[in-house]
Amino acid sequence: MISIFYRRGAEIIVSQKETEFAAIGKNEVLWIDLLSPTGDEKRATEAFLGTEIQSRAQAEEIESSSRFSENETAIFANTNFLSPAGDEMAEDAVSFTIVGGTLATLREIPLRSFTSLQRRIQARPAQYEDGWTIFTSIMDQRIDLDADIIELLDKETTQFSKRINQKEDINEDFLLDINQLQENAMMVRENIVDKQRLISGIIKSDRYPDRLDAKFSVLLQDTSSLINHTNFTFERLEYLQDTAVGLINLDQNRIMKIFTFISLLLMPATLVASFYGMNVKLPFGDFDFAWLGLLGVMALIVVGAWWIFHRKQML
């Protein structure tokens, strides 16, 4: 699907037919949004802009350190947009191509930041001067959504902390859940760093409009704040993981201590029972009720051992 946003007077009109390019001037088009486009839609957009648009496969193959590039006519930028997918995070590649004042975006799935921006463009056309303004709005909304994701991670981290404080059952599943949160936090951090590099690369371009200095500076500050927040969340998760492992070790040590104490407690009584179980003549062996005395002796030994352990606070 293709959505062409172009200006006619004070209004911004949206067309969803690539054949409309013939009737629209290049200076009138602000944004061309390609959502899972057909071959004809992509080729028509490339012919209109006079440059090739990177495919999803090309965007995904680009290294994180080379997300920004430019040639004689166009600026190319690629980044991933995160979205929660159950317990994990899903990455969706988005390609940006800026030619003059026209922005072209290529994506494969619907994104909330794009949908809300499209409604705002038609509601307030005066706020969007060209494709650069739309690009900054997309990045601004995306960074806000990343902040929401980090806030969600914080809430989940707080819930795990409460579970530890309330001494709930801490087992292998608990540690695996914390590990998944750590993976999500690392993915969010990498994604934000990716956007930070992208914005820094655009600012260094000669085609970058100076009138957007203030907006891009705010975007860089926001990304830096989110990176710091993500680092704190990750450190907090590491602390919770260490605490959970420590509690599991304490429980295991407590169980081993109980078994060891029981073994030590019964060892003297077992020794007496084994001694009198030998098939030889032993003291008091001729008495009919000698076994009662032996039971009493073993009971006294057990009680005495327990009292010694208790007095020395070894229980």
Does the pLDDT value for residue 196 go beyond 80? Answer: yes
Residue 201 is given by DSSP the state H
75 strand-pairing partners: 70, 98
Nearby residues of 230 by Cβ (< 8 Å), 6 or more positions away: 150, 153, 185, 188, 189, 192
Residue 54 is given by DSSP the state P
Cβ atoms of residues 12 and 125 within 8 Å:
yes
Lowest mean pLDDT: which of 138-152, 195-209, 293-307? 293-307
Cβ atoms of residues 76 and 49 within 8 Å:
no
Task: For residues 226 and 150, give the distance between their C-alpha atoms in angstroms, rounded to a whole number.
Answer: 8
HSE at residue 246, side-chain half, CA atoms within 13 A, is: 8
Q: Which residue has the higher pLDDT, 254 or 265?
A: 254
To the nearest 10°, the Cα dihedral for 65, 69, 75, 80? -30
105 strand-pairing partners: 33, 96
Model confidence band, residue 313 (pLDDT cutoffs 50, 70, 90) = low
Q: What dotted CATH number matches 2-249?
A: 3.30.460.20
Mean pLDDT calculated for residue range 269-293: 62
pLDDT tens readout for residues 222-240? 888 888 888 888 888 888 7
Task: For residues 158 and 163, give the distance between their C-alpha atoms in angstroms, rounded to a whole number.
Answer: 9
Mean pLDDT calculated for residue range 73-96: 80
Return the pLDDT at 294. Answer: 66
Q: Which residue has the higher pLDDT, 261 or 1?
A: 1
Task: For residues 86 and 251, give the distance between their C-alpha atoms in angstroms, rounded to a whole number.
Answer: 31
Containing 16, the helix (H) or strand (E) segment is none
pLDDT tens readout for residues 9-21? 778 887 888 787 7
Return the pLDDT at 291. Answer: 58
* CB atoms near residue 88 (< 10 Å): 10
Mean pLDDT calculated for residue range 176-191: 84
- Domain-wise residue ranges, the chain: 2-249, 259-311
- Please state the pTM of the whole predicted model: 0.73
Per the listing, tokens 């949004």 go with 33
Return the pLDDT at 130. Answer: 83
* CB atoms near residue 120 (< 10 Å): 14
pLDDT tens readout for residues 5-52? 888 777 888 788 878 777 787 788 888 888 888 888 888 888 888 888
Model confidence band, residue 277 (pLDDT cutoffs 50, 70, 90) = low
Cβ atoms of residues 188 and 88 within 8 Å:
no
Question: β-pairing, 88-99 with 75-85?
Answer: antiparallel
Cβ atoms of residues 181 and 236 within 8 Å:
no
Mean pLDDT calculated for residue range 92-113: 84
Return the pLDDT at 193. Answer: 86
Cβ atoms of residues 197 and 67 within 8 Å:
yes
Which tokens belong to 94?
């988005």
Return the pLDDT at 94. Answer: 84
Distance of CA 233 to the CA centre of its chain: 10
Residue 292 CB-density burial (10 A; 0-12 exposed, 13-18 middle, 19+ buried)? exposed
Return the pLDDT at 207. Answer: 79
Q: Which residue has the higher pLDDT, 246 or 287?
A: 246
35 strand-pairing partners: 107
Q: Which residue has the higher pLDDT, 81 or 271?
A: 81
